[in-house]
C-alpha cells in the first residue's frame, strides 16, 4: 500500500514537471487485436471480418473487428469515459466527402488486421503496415488536424508483431533470409523507430503491449510442424524474445526521450495465467476456437463456408482461429487498466491516464482477485 501511494505521489510530481494533463485523445496502432474496422474501409484489402457472425455478441452486426464483440481498445476507451474510436479510414472518408468538418476529438484507430511490424508482412493481402499507419497519422499533423498541445496530452497504444512471427513459420511462404534472432532484431528496430517518431511529433504517453502466446492460437493447426495437443513452443520462444525486447525499449524511454512516459503491458503472461487456470477466469475451453472448423477450429475462418459456431462464446479463450473472444479481451483490458505490476509496468493504464499537472492521479482502482 505504501509503495502504491509513493508511486502515485511520484507520478503526480513527474506529470506536473512535464506539464502533462489527463488525456482526452487516444491514437491506436497495430493489427487485428486492435483493428476497429479499417480493413473494411480498404477496398484493396482481402483480410476482412465484415460478415456474420463477427460482432454478434455486442454490436449484433459485423463491424470489421476480428472478434464477437469489443476489442481491448474498445474497453480501454470505455474505462476512460469516452466513446469508441472510429477507424481512421472511416473518419477520413467522412471528412473528405464533407459529412464531417473535422476528425473525432477522442482520437483515431489506425490499426489494420493482418499487418505486421515489418512492411512486407501480408502485403499481398492489402493490409496497412505499421509504417504506413504512422504515415497516415503524420499526414494529419501536417494538415493541422491535430495540434501539438493535443498530441502531448494524448495516449498512444501499440500492439503488433504476431503476424510477422506466425508467417515466419508458414511452410508455403518464401523462406526468410533471417534467422529467428535476426528477425526479432529487425522487428524491434521498427518498434524503436515508431517510438522515436511518435516522440518527434509530440507524443509523450505511450503504452506498448506484448504479443500473446501466438504459438497457442488454433490456427497452428495449419502448420505441419505444430503440435495439436500443446502450444507450438518454437513459435512461443520467438515471441518471448520479441516481448523481452519490447519491454527493454519501454524501460529505455525515460532516458532516451526526456519528458516521455511509457508502460509495458505483459499480455503474454496474463493469457498464460488464463490457460493455466481456466475456471478462475470464467473459461471452459482455452484451446479451441468458438467459431471455425477442423482441428482446434483452426482450419477455417469464422463465417466462411463450412464454419461452425459454439453455443456460448464467453466460455472460450479464442473466438476464431487467430483471435480472442470478447470475454478474453474484457479480462485483458481490466488487468491492463487496473492491474498490478506483474501485468503492466511500471504502472497501469488508469494511472497513466490519470496523471495531471493540477492534481494527483486518481486513486488506483483495487483490482479483484482475477485482475492480475
List active site positions.
Answer: 32, 320, 323
134: buried, middle or exposed (CB in 10 Å: 19+, 13-18, 0-12)?
buried
User: Which run of H or E residues covers position 29?
Assistant: strand 26-30
How far is it, in rounded angstroms, from Cα 291 to Cα 219?
12
How far apart (Å, rounded) are the C-alpha atoms in residues 356 and 207? 17
Yes or no: say if 351 and 364 are a contact pair by the CB < 8 Å rule.
yes
Its sign, for the CA torsion 96, 125, 49, 288, is: negative
C-alpha to C-alpha distance for 26 and 285, rounded to whole angstroms: 33
Check whether the bond before 323 is cis (ω within 30° of 0): no
**Distance of alpha carbon 323 from alpha carbon 8, whole angstroms:** 35
Nearest to 336 by CA among 112, 151, 80, 12: 80
CA 269 to chain centre: 15
Amino acid at each position: 500500500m505504501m509503495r502504491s501511494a509513493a508511486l502515485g505521489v511520484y507520478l503526480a510530481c513527474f506529470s506536473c514537471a512535464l506539464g502533462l494533463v489527463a488525456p482526452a485523445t487516444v491514437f491506436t496502432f497495430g493489427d487485428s487485436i486492435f483493428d476497429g474496422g479499417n480493413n473494411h474501409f480498404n477496398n484493396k484489402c482481402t483480410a476482412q471480418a465484415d460478415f456474420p457472425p463477427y460482432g454478434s455478441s455486442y454490436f449484433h452486426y459485423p463491424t470489421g473487428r476480428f472478434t464477437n464483440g469489443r476489442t481491448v481498445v474498445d474497453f480501454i476507451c470505455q474505462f476512460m469515459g469516452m466513446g469508441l474510436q472510429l477507424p481512421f479510414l472511416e473518419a477520413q472518408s467522412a471528412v473528405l466527402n464533407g459529412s464531417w468538418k473535422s476528425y473525432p476529438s477522442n482520437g483515431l484507430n489506425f490499426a489494420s488486421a493482418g499487418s505486421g511490424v515489418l512492411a512486407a508482412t501480408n502485403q499481398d493481402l492489402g493490409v496497412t503496415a505499421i509504417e504506413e499507419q504512422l504515415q497516415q497519422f503524420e499526414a494529419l499533423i501536417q494538415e493541422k488536424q491535430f495540434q501539438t498541445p493535443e498530441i502531448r496530452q494524448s495516449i498512444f497504444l501499440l500492439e503488433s508483431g504476431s503476424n510477422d512471427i506466425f508467417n515466419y513459420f508458414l511452410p508455403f511462404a518464401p523462406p526468410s533470409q533471417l534467422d529467428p534472432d535476426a528477425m526479432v532484431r529487425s522487428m524491434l528496430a521498427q518498434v524503436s523507430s515508431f517510438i522515436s517518431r511518435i516522440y518527434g511529433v509530440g507524443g509523450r504517453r505511450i503504452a506498448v503491449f506484448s504479443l500473446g502466446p501466438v504459438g497457442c492460437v488454433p490456427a497452428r493447426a495449419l502448420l505441419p510442424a505444430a503440435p495439436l495437443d500443446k502450444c507450438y513452443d518454437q513459435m512461443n520462444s520467438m515471441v518471448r524474445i520479441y516481448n523481452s525486447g519490447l519491454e527493454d525499449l519501454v524501460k529505455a524511454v525515460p532516458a532516451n526521450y526526456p519528458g516521455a512516459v511509457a508502460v509495458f503491458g505483459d499480455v503474454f503472461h496474463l493469457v498464460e495465467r488464463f490457460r493455466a487456470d481456466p475456471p478462475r477466469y470464467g473459461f471452459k475451453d482455452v484451446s479451441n476456437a468458438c467459431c471455425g472448423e477442423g482441428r482446434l477450429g483452426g482450419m477455417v475462418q469464422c463465417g466462411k463456408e463450412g464454419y461452425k459456431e459454439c453455443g456460448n462464446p464467453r466460455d472460450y479463450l479464442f473466438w476464431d482461429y487467430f483471435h480472442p473472444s470478447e470475454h478474453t479481451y474484457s479480462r485483458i483490458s481490466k488487468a491492463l487498466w487496473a492491474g498490478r505490476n506483474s501485468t503492466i509496468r511500471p504502472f497501469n493504464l488508469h494511472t497513466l491516464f490519470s496523471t495531471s499537472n493540477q492534481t494527483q492521479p486518481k486513486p488506483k482502482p483495487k483490482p479483484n482477485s482475477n485482475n492480475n
